[in-house]
Structure 1
Amino acid sequence: MLKTTLAAALVTVGALGLTGCDVEKTQEGNVSVPKYEVEKKASGDVTLPKYDVTTPDVKVGSAETTINVPKVTTEEKKIEVPTVQVTPAPDKDDNKKTQ
Structure 2
Amino acid sequence: MSRNVVIGLAVAVVVIVGVLFASGFWSANVTDPGEMPEVNISAEPGRAPDVDLDSKKVVIGTEERTVEVPKVETEEKEIDVPVIGVTDGDKD
Normalised by the length of structure 2, the TM-score is 0.32
Question: Of the two, which has the highest radius of gyration?
Answer: 2
| More relative contact order, 1 or 2 (CA 8 Å, 6+ apart) | 1
TM-score (norm: length of structure 1): 0.30
- Give the structure with the larger helix fraction: 1
